[in-house]
Structure 1
Amino acid sequence: MERLFDSFANTVARWTGSPAAFLVCVIVVVAWAVAGPFFGFSETWQLVINTGTTIVTFLMVFLIQNTQNRDSVALQTKLDELIRTSDAEDDFIGIEKLTDKELIALHARCEAAAKQSQATLAKARAERRRRGHDDINGDRAG
């Protein structure tokens, strides 16, 4: 059942995100607007579009959320595998499960490390310039 729903959700999400689906919606809205004078712009006429859009929106929220959840898990799994097989710190595996406070602390740690790396690079560039090396292309200046 779950695989069937996943397949259905993916298909619907892909189709509803297409230009053809948008065109169908525009046609429906234009047809509804054109029908207004024939129905005297009655409450029933308004109720048709309100009810239709509410039902479609309500159902689409669940389909889109299902698709987004799966995409998010797949992306996190790929990132975790890249982290696991690289020289990156294993502390980053599964950080999507941390609290906001823990994520902020980890982000601050990364920013501090980045600033230290930038400072080290700046020192290395200054030293290369001091020794007469071309900083831009890595070529010797003389």
Structure 2
Amino acid sequence: MKFERFAQWLAKVSGRPLTFASALLLIITWAVSGPLFGFNDTWQLVINTSTTIITFLMVFLIQNTQNRDNDVLHIKIDELLRTTQRAHKALLDLEDMDPAELHALRKHYQQMGEHEAPDPSDNPD
């Protein structure tokens, strides 16, 4: 549970404008320091290694955040389907279907949408 809280906190912090500005300032500082270090291999290695490590870690952070958001959306949609009288209860477990079953179901709903007349109560005017 601690990792989830940390990942959520880090995701919020990393998406802020101040974090972006800080990263930009570090890159500018690195670029300006080039002449001081003679643009040598070590100078280049510092930025390459730093950005690679940060990118590697951010991939896992983003995946964790997306998994959590996806789980939350599934729960909310499942609850809406469960409480909606006209909803098909079989749709509650779509995440357990294989891709072929999902494709067939999507095609079925597309065909239903093409043949269904628009509901006048859906018109916001």
- Per the TM superposition, whether the score is higher than 0.5 is yes
Q: Extract structure 1 runs of 4+ deviating beyond 4 A.
A: none
Name the aligned partner's letter for residue 83 of structure 1.
Answer: L
Name the aligned partner's letter for residue 19 of structure 1.
Answer: P
Which residue in the other structure is 1:11 paired with?
A: 9
Contiguous gaps of at least 5 residues in structure 1: 126-135, 137-142
Which residue in the other structure is 2:20 paired with?
A: 22
Q: Which has the higher contact order (CA 8 A, sep 6+)?
A: 2
Name the aligned partner's letter for residue 38 of structure 1.
Answer: L
- Deviation, 1:47, is 0.3
- Does 2:105 match 1:106? yes
Contiguous gaps of at least 5 residues in structure 2: none
Identity score, percent: 45
Q: Deviations over 1:2-46 (max 9, x none)?
A: x11111000000110111111011001000000011111111000
SS of match in other structure, 1:94: helix
**Alignment length (residue pairs):** 120
Name the aligned partner's letter for residue 31 of structure 1.
Answer: T
Measured in 2, the distance between the counterparts of 1:82 and 1:9 equals 28
Question: Are the equivalent residues in 2 in contact too, given 1:76–1:94 (CA < 8 A)?
Answer: no
Bigger Rg, structure 1 or 2 = 1
Q: Deviations over 1:61-82 (max 9, x none)?
A: 1112111111101110110110
